[in-house]
Chain A
Amino acid sequence: MPQEALTAAQASVKGAEVGGANDDPKAQLHLKLANEQIDKAKKLIEDGKNEEAARVIDRAQADADLALALAEQAKSLKEYKDADEQLGKLKKKLNQ
């Protein structure tokens, strides 16, 4: 049972990495927490502490999801800033 959730959490971590979580400091922090908790869960599973492992996996999943959301937010903010900068440059050029 925890194994299935663990696989899902690991997939979410991968998804967050692909989504650019390593490019944003806050997203990177949650990615790190997710990875640490995945490692912790693996040990707990090895020790047969499945119930505790499941709770840690839930934490890992929440951090991985948040990492992706933060990465996507950062990306959108950057796109907005770029668009705004382009607009500013265009206006400046036209006013010359």
Chain B
Amino acid sequence: MLRRTTPLSALLLLGVVACGAAQPPPELVDARKAYERASKGLATQLAPAQLDTAKQALDKAEKSFEDEGVDAPTPDLAYVAERKAELAEATAGKVAAERDAKQADKKFKDTQLEGLDKAKSELSKERQAGEKTKAQLEQERKELEQERVARAEAERKAAAAMASLQEIAKVKEESRGMVITLSGSVLFATGKYELLPIARDKLDEVAKALTDQGYKSIVIEGHTDSRGKAADNETLSLKRAESVRTYLVSRGIPSDKITASGLGSSRPVADNGTPDGRANNRRVEIVVQPLK
């Protein structure tokens, strides 16, 4: 019995194998590939309904292949299944492109706003800089005006100082500076070097005028007439110059800007042979180096 049945079973088996090994139609091969590709791509997330439809179409084609083999309607069903898989992919591609376009649009708007903010901020900065410059210009203008007023005031004071000096002393512009000459008889008693009370008043005026006018340095020169010993005259003239210097320092003239020297009778300005000439030669000269 085994001998008789075995060849039959073998034949049946051969038939099944032959049937199972039947090559699918190219449409089904393409449909399988298309579905596999679609199911691994964006369609699973972006076109799940279309992908499901494609799967159902492929299942239908596979069932037809099982039942009918390569004959109709298998190739037609597979053809449709392949299109449906491609449609799922195209739909997913469309959705993705729409999503990307939306993002690009949003980015465009955001970038536009950023650009607008940037432009506003730059404009505001420029405006602030402009205002600052305006404020600086105004400040500079004020400073210049103040300087002009101060200079005018200084000139006025200097002129007034010069005028008041000229009332109490002889004032001359020389190459060595401005020379204020005070008569010796006004400042000192004969042979003395202590200042007379009236001298203090005059020197107060001089100190005030010098302070108002400004100066670089001051030299006090003591001069005598030619009577008596030259050495004594020099000593007396120096002491007198120092008296004047000390007094002016006490009235606010800085001590480092004022010096004293005794020149005795070495530089007469008038004839020592007459009483008037000698009176003119007995003097104190204040030589002022003006400010530039």
Is A11 part of the contact surface with B, judged by Cβ < 8 Å? no
Interface residues of A in 30-73 (CB under 8 A from B): 30, 52, 55-56, 58-59, 61-63, 65-66, 69-70, 72-73
Q: Which residues of B are found within 8 Å of A66, using beta-carbon distances?
A: 83-84, 86-87, 90
Q: Which residues of A are found within 8 Å of B83, using beta-carbon distances?
A: 30, 59, 62-63, 65-66
CA distance A88 to B84 in the complex (A): 36
Interface residues of B in 17-64 (CB under 8 A from A): none
CA distance A30 to B84 in the complex (A): 12
Q: A66-B83, A73-B93, A76-B98 are in contact. Are A83 and B76 (CB under 8 A)?
A: no
Task: Tell me the minimal C-beta distance from B116 to chain A in angstroms.
Answer: 10
CA distance A75 to B97 in the complex (A): 9
Is A86 part of the contact surface with B, judged by Cβ < 8 Å? yes
Q: Which residues of A are found within 8 Å of B72, using beta-carbon distances?
A: 52, 55
Is B166 part of the contact surface with A, judged by Cβ < 8 Å? no
Q: A55-B76, A58-B76, A73-B93 are in contact. Are A80 and B104 (CB under 8 A)?
A: yes
**How many A residues have CB within 8 A of the partner chain?**
28
Q: Which residues of B are found within 8 Å of A52, using beta-carbon distances?
A: 72
CA distance A73 to B114 in the complex (A): 32
Is B115 part of the contact surface with A, judged by Cβ < 8 Å? yes
> Considering only CB atoms, which chain A residue lies closest to B88 in the complex?
A69
A87, B94: Cβ atoms under 8 Å? no
Task: Tell me the minimal C-beta distance from B27 to chain A in angstroms.
Answer: 10
Interface size bucket, B side?
Answer: 20 to 34
> Considering only CB atoms, which chain A residue lies closest to B50 in the complex?
A69
Q: A55-B72, A55-B76, A83-B104 are in contact. Are A91 and B111 (CB under 8 A)?
A: yes
CA distance A80 to B102 in the complex (A): 8
Task: Tell me the minimal C-beta distance from B194 to chain A in angstroms.
Answer: 88
CA distance A63 to B86 in the complex (A): 10
A69, B87: Cβ atoms under 8 Å? yes
A94, B118: Cβ atoms under 8 Å? yes
A70, B90: Cβ atoms under 8 Å? yes
B91, A73: Cβ atoms under 8 Å? yes
Q: Which residues of B are found within 8 Å of A72, using beta-carbon distances?
A: 90-91, 94
> Considering only CB atoms, which chain B residue lies closest to A64 in the complex?
B83
CA distance A25 to B35 in the complex (A): 22
A56, B97: Cβ atoms under 8 Å? no
A79, B97: Cβ atoms under 8 Å? yes
Q: Which residues of A are found within 8 Å of B80, using beta-carbon distances?
A: 58-59, 61-62
Task: Tell me the minimal C-beta distance from B120 to chain A in angstroms.
Answer: 13
CB contact between A87 and one of B73, B95, B97, B108 (< 8 Å): that residue: B108
CA distance A35 to B281 in the complex (A): 139
A79, B86: Cβ atoms under 8 Å? no
Residue pairs across A and B with Cβ atoms less than 8 A apart, 5 shown, are: A66-B86, A72-B90, A73-B97, A83-B104, A86-B104
- Give 10 closest A-B pairs by Cβ, nearest first: A62-B83, A76-B97, A83-B104, A80-B101, A69-B90, A55-B76, A73-B94, A62-B80, A73-B93, A73-B90
